[in-house]
Structure 1
Amino acid sequence: MKIIGFAASSSSVSINKQLVTYAASQLKDCEIEILDLNDYELPLFSQDKEQQLGQPPLAQAFIDKIQSADGLLISFAEHNGSYTVAYKNLFDWASRINSKVYEDKALVLLSTSPGPGGAKSVLATAEGSMPFFGGTVKASLSVPSFYDNFDSEQGKLTNTELNAQLLSALELLQA
């Protein structure tokens, strides 16, 4: 089984990238690839830019990665209660090539933030919208207060209850 994971963030120190990388490391007997959204940086989407540029190769490359996977593991950063610009922009470009960006793939959606909210707002938005774009959400998990529940030096979730919930979610991805 091939799993593609990524953090919906362009931050070089993304806590969501730490979380998705840890989660992916817990999958057994899978081929794992972690994408970096910075490898798919595109101009801000607009119809004018689309007419000018056509379909950018990086947007197609992102869709090709999605198509190559059996399942997806995505951790959403939250900016002002919503998606990061980096994720939303890439998604907008990709959806113009294929409106079913997530190609009937099984998804486990994660989110985290430094605060107690755990980026639940953006996670709820993602859960609600994924089916419209071809994704099948198998499970989701918000990790609140990242620095209290995750050891960045060891790269692992230290909260045993949250870790058990994560492992249960990952089992659904592999089912």
Structure 2
Amino acid sequence: MATILAFAGSNSSTSINYKLVNHTIDLVKEHDCKLINLANYPFPMYSHDEEKDKGFINSLIELKDYFIDADAIILSVNEHNGGPSAYFKNVLDWISRVDIKFLADKKIFLMATSPGKRGAIGALESIEKLLPRFGGEVVSTFSLPSFDANFSEANGISDAVLAKQHQNELSDFLSKL
């Protein structure tokens, strides 16, 4: 049984990416999933001066330890103006300063969703290229377009084709653990 760290790359209290992650881990039966909400980790914008003056705060070390203790990652990234949010990039900047290889040997199921028809594909592609720098291996990806039309909190992904695609990508990810 693997330990999977699950989270959305968003600090919104109403994050649709968090809803997608929560739905996804509900489908995982044979592994232990730890769901965290990054909205509980408000870090200042990274700067060398901030690091030098204040060091690494306890919540950053706690978050880094969650990554280190996990065997795998389920992540859904949000998109702002065609790329990953500044918040999530900032989280990566801080954690990588504590341990550049905080994702070493981690298999990753990378997802993204947005209200638009592209399903945050710009953020997904950007983060997919970035995560291997920290030692992670993105083994499956999934983009859910038009979140409001294709997802309900009661039933999850409502479009049958997209639900099947999501399940196939999740199964592929789980088979590699």
> Shorter chain as normaliser: what TM range?
over 0.9
Report the aligned-residue RMSD.
1.1
Q: Is the 8 A contact 1:103 1:135 kept in 2?
A: yes
**1:161 alignment partner in structure 2:** 161
**1:82 alignment partner in structure 2:** 83
**1:38 alignment partner in structure 2:** 39
- In the TM superposition, residue 155 of structure 1 has moved relative to its aligned partner by 5.0
Amino acid at match of 2:84: Y
**2:113 alignment partner in structure 1:** 112
Query: Where does structure 1 lack aligned partners over 5 or more consecutive residues?
Result: none
Secondary structure of the structure 1 residue equivalent to 2:79: coil
Normalised by the length of structure 2, the TM-score is 0.94
Count of aligned positions: 174
**1:71 alignment partner in structure 2:** 72
Secondary structure of the structure 2 residue equivalent to 1:72: strand
- Stretches of 4+ moved more than 2 A in 1? none
**1:131 alignment partner in structure 2:** 132
- In the TM superposition, residue 32 of structure 1 has moved relative to its aligned partner by 1.2
- In the TM superposition, residue 170 of structure 1 has moved relative to its aligned partner by 1.4
- In the TM superposition, residue 39 of structure 1 has moved relative to its aligned partner by 1.9
Q: Is the 8 A contact 1:78 1:113 kept in 2?
A: yes
**2:8 alignment partner in structure 1:** 7
**1:141 alignment partner in structure 2:** 142
Partner Cα separation in structure 1 for residue 12 and residue 118 of structure 2: 19
**1:60 alignment partner in structure 2:** 61
**2:24 alignment partner in structure 1:** 23
Secondary structure of the structure 2 residue equivalent to 1:166: helix
1:155–1:100 distance in 2 versus 1, CA, 3 Å: farther
Amino acid at match of 2:171: E
**2:123 alignment partner in structure 1:** 122
**1:173 alignment partner in structure 2:** 173
Q: Is the 8 A contact 2:21 2:75 kept in 1?
A: yes
Normalised by the length of structure 1, the TM-score is 0.95
Identical amino acids, percent of aligned pairs: 34
- In the TM superposition, residue 126 of structure 1 has moved relative to its aligned partner by 1.0
Q: Is the 8 A contact 1:6 1:20 kept in 2?
A: yes
Secondary structure of the structure 2 residue equivalent to 1:104: coil
Q: Is the 8 A contact 1:70 1:105 kept in 2?
A: yes
Q: Is the 8 A contact 1:77 1:122 kept in 2?
A: yes
Is 19-28 or 160-169 further displaced after alignment?
A: 160-169
- In the TM superposition, residue 40 of structure 1 has moved relative to its aligned partner by 1.6
1:89–1:35 distance in 2 versus 1, CA, 3 Å: same
Q: Is the 8 A contact 2:21 2:76 kept in 1?
A: yes
